[in-house]
Structure 1
Amino acid sequence: MQSLTGHDLLLGVRRFAPRHTWTMPLVPGFTVLLHTDGLEERSSVADDDSPACLHRRLRTARRTRLQDLLEDAVADIRADRADDIAMLAVRLPAAG
């Protein structure tokens, strides 16, 4: 599992803010998960550890359907959280 480390100012914060382009080669069968910061924010976890917690949760997910992966990603998130979550998962077709 890899994370893309680049980021820009949030969309909609400043009109005409400069944007960057990052690339990463993807192989057949890879899954790409795009999400807002709300998925990583945890009141009980230091901000530096939040991405690691998300990676562990997704790495241990046993289900393979994309909908199931998204459900696993939010499985331990409390209902009374203050931040919203948006996710988009895309899986490249397997080779052959």
Structure 2
Amino acid sequence: MEVLQMEVLQMMTPIEFWRAGFVFWTRAAEAQLEFASRWICAVGLSQRAAQTAAQKATIEALRAASVVPLAPNAISTPVPKRAARKAPRLAASRCRPTAH
């Protein structure tokens, strides 16, 4: 049995090997998604909460499988924007008096 598996692996191109692994882990993630959504619905949470929790579980499963190259907090943490620069102030000697 192991000899046959080794021969099959040696005949596969790297792309075919990657695709087979991707299909395997995607199906595993889909099964986990289905299980999680049914379990959460059975517990009594809303359908939206079930979908959100199942999506998070799927993302974590894919991260653990290293199928999707994601940053550690790419989904959950928004990217902070850089603060806008303030306009430079004039020196006190260069200020114009206000006319009243």
User: What TM-score do you get using the length of structure 1 for normalisation?
Assistant: 0.28
User: What TM-score do you get using the length of structure 2 for normalisation?
Assistant: 0.27
Q: Which one has the largest radius of gyration?
A: 2
